[in-house]
Amino acid sequence: MAAATGTPVTFSKLTANFEARTFARVKIRNKCYFDIDTRYTDLETIGDGAYGVVCSAWDSVLRRKVAIKKVADVFEDLVDAKRILREILLLRHLGEHPNITSILDVTVSPQVKDFKDLYIITDLYECDLDRIVTSKQILTRPHIQFFLYQILKGLKYIHSANVMHRDLKPSNILVNSDCALAICDFGLSRGAEDEASLTDYVVTRYPRLLYSAQIFNISVCDS
């Protein structure tokens, strides 16, 4: 599969004509349902994250495959709801960069006025870095250099917007077979100046810890 090359759709277009959408209920591996716009077909599970199931699907409007992340019961927990909102807002702003996943569409279940589930549609990648590094696949020096180069490029863009990802790990880095790479999962991201909200996470998440330590000028060993 070629690198994800989708042209991001503007947010006003995402939510336009919502009432005109038609929905179908698709059963995913006997364990959950996707109430999804009928433009998306051939759903298959590709990931199971902390906030929900991720499926690949054929998008009959864009005429290519996409990824759909279902966030079930989005309002059940206020903190989680804020994280999802933050993820959508950040992807809107940062997703134009080639090394950051771009958001293509957002839909809710058919009960638009009283919805519980949210679906975030992004460019589809073939794998994540966690699966690659835990597989038997040999990574050559040029592979590693190219991955690192793209990660740093994506991070530079994120940090230039004064945002910290705070959950950078192999499973949140998506890769295609041509080695194109994109950083995903901005649910824990924060603005660098949002100091108060950082404290509960920095002690448990080592990649963020290193970055936060630099920002707040603290010793990593004393944290």
Ligand X SMILES: Nc1ncnc2c1ncn2[C@@H]1O[C@H](COP(=O)(O)OP(=O)(O)O)[C@@H](O)[C@H]1O
Active-site residues: which are they?
A: 167
Single residue of 34, 40, 119, 125 touching ligand X by CB under 6 A:
125
> Could you tell which of Mg ion, ligand X, none binds residue 101, using a CB distance below 5 to 8 A set by kind?
ligand X
Q: Whole-angstrom Cα distance, residue 190 to residue 165?
A: 7
Q: Whole-angstrom Cα distance, residue 223 to residue 217?
A: 11
Q: Whole-angstrom Cα distance, residue 95 to residue 184?
A: 9
Query: In this structure, which amino acid lies at residue 90?
Result: L
Tell me how far, at minimum, the Cβ of 12 lies from ligand X, in Å: 23
Taking Cα atoms as reference points, which of 199, 211, 200, 95 lies closest to residue 164? 211
- DSSP class per residue in 85-97: HHHHHHHHHHTTS
Stretch that binds ligand X, among 6-14, 109-117, 122-130, 148-156 (CB under 6 A): 122-130
Q: Which residues bind Mg ion (CB under 5 A)?
A: 49, 172, 185
Tell me how far, at minimum, the Cβ of 142 lies from ligand X, in Å: 23
By CB under 6 A, residue 172 contacts ligand X? yes
Taking Cα atoms as reference points, which of 141, 117, 148 lies closest to residue 25? 117
Tell me how far, at minimum, the Cβ of 185 lies from Mg ion, in Å: 4
Eight-state DSSP code of residue 85: H
Residue 138 buriedness (CB in 10 A; 0-12 / 13-18 / 19+): exposed
| Between 35 and 185, CB nearer to Mg ion | 185
Bridge partner residues of 175 (DSSP): 127, 181
Single residue of 122, 150, 189, 212 touching ligand X by CB under 6 A:
122
Single residue of 51, 119, 147, 211 touching ligand X by CB under 6 A:
51
Single residue of 36, 128, 147, 180 touching ligand X by CB under 6 A:
128
Q: Summarize as ranges the residues that interact with ligand X (CB under 6 A).
A: 46-47, 49-52, 54, 67, 69, 101, 122-125, 128, 171-172, 174, 184-185, 187
